[in-house]
Structure 1
């Protein structure tokens, strides 16, 4: 992998991680059509996710700082017997509901190897189908954009619904931000709160994936030079910040439908490519690779 390819993947990751179009799906397509599928591609996608994780901390630093302080306050109240479920602040409610939304991710311990297989195989059929699902979710959410729920009024069932959506989004081609924002809007979240909740919910999920998967990826071997790693990491972080700002504007203006139509079209094209390549010996892939 060259530095230029690392830069292009960093741009792609930074933009698609937060735009509701699936970063994992786009990276899988990029790796498929450039011949970088496999262990190296999988390792590099993890490094790019680390860059976008930094972007979330930069943009939502105040909310994250409030939640961290609230976590210490919660522990203090639990140990001193002053905890009350009736008079919780919005920050404490949000913190507890975020924890509840993370519980469905425990399912990933059972299916992670199966899911990872779709990201590293030499096929884009599943990605095409998942892009179609993303498009359907986004278009459906656009019809439910008048929610009023926020940290003060959301319920436990809302948190579980968003958490389940995040598990579904582990499939390449299903947007994590798109699915969780859509789930929040469908369950009555305010648009801006749906965005904030979605991105902050993604922090432990991405961090956990990095912690558990990076050691295995390195043991399998990568051979990536340091300039390539740094280029991809920094580029994804910078473009990630820009993308977060853009998605906030997109959701506020109820423009998710445009991304819905885009992912529907992309899904249809990739399903077609996947079927042709599987039955004809990958002529389309070989054309882009130059073989």
Structure 2
């Protein structure tokens, strides 16, 4: 692996890990970073899929005790079964729409123009939602009912459009539906586990042929960087939502989206 390839792997791993769970769209940032680094081949698509696993495992590691308790008590505690049922229910909208439109989305929407417009529009929607304080009726993830879980799943499904942000759509949907910032953020993390495992597994089955022994070291570096940086991002965001709103992320999306639009329209 050449020094430039090592740099590519580290940068893309950082981009994935730092943006996957922030409401700013990891897919959008990876598309842009890949274009700027001239890393947009079929192998690049497979690399992007694999390093997502690093980010997913970071969530599992952060919540390992809580998830372990759910698994151990699944047969004996109703709250554990309800937690798993809510995650499965919330997964359904994105899974159904993704299966139906996967090819169309990959072919026609994975481009800088779509990403930039989604970043800008998503930032404006976040500012609208954050205009004032909303009444909180759900303080913790455990207080969700199945209707809340399904509504959050529908919100997450909007993020199938590149640039929207899976975590951003889920968190903002949660705020609209009466969840506290902490509950909305935590549920977006938990929902990421089955959703991203399913999506990553589906993509890997289709892209497995593009993996080669020569690419394994390149992928391994990106995977580890993604894991560590995602763990940092998760813990930072959980601290952040306890003290701040999401307006800073909204303005970042708008400004970054405008820069991307200008760059790929007039320069690239």
TM-score by length of 2: 0.89
1:56 is matched with which residue?
Answer: 59
What secondary structure sits across from 2:24 in the alignment? coil
Aligned residues: 262
Equivalent position of 1:239 in the other structure: 229
Unmatched tracts of structure 1, length 5 or more: 75-87, 277-283, 286-291
Indicate the residue corresponding to 1:136 in structure 2.
124
Identify the residue that residue 169 of structure 2 maps to in structure 1. Answer: 179
Q: Is the 8 A contact 1:131 1:267 kept in 2?
A: yes
Go from structure 1 to structure 2 and tell me whether the alpha carbon gap of 1:189 and 1:256 turns closer, same or farther (over 3 Å shift): same
Offset from partner CA, 1:6-50 (integer Å, 9 cap, x none)? 011111111001111111100000011222123122111111101
Contact 2:141 2:186 in 1 (8 A): no
| Alignment partner of 1:126 out of 114, 134, 138 | 114
What stretches of structure 1 move > 4 A for 4+ residues in a row?
Answer: 220-224
| Structure 2: gaps of 5 or more residues | none
Partner of 1:201: 191
Report SS of the residue matched to 2:244. Answer: coil
Select the structure of larger CA radius of gyration: 1
Q: Any idea what SS the aligned residue of 1:232 has?
A: helix
User: In 1, distance between residues paired with 2:122 and 2:14?
Assistant: 21
Aligned to 1:100: 89
1:156 aligns with 2:159: no
> Alignment RMSD, CA only?
2.1
**TM-score where L is the length of structure 1:** 0.82
Cα distance in 2 for residues equivalent to 1:124 and 1:99: 32
Return 171-180 or 141-150, whichever deviates more: 141-150
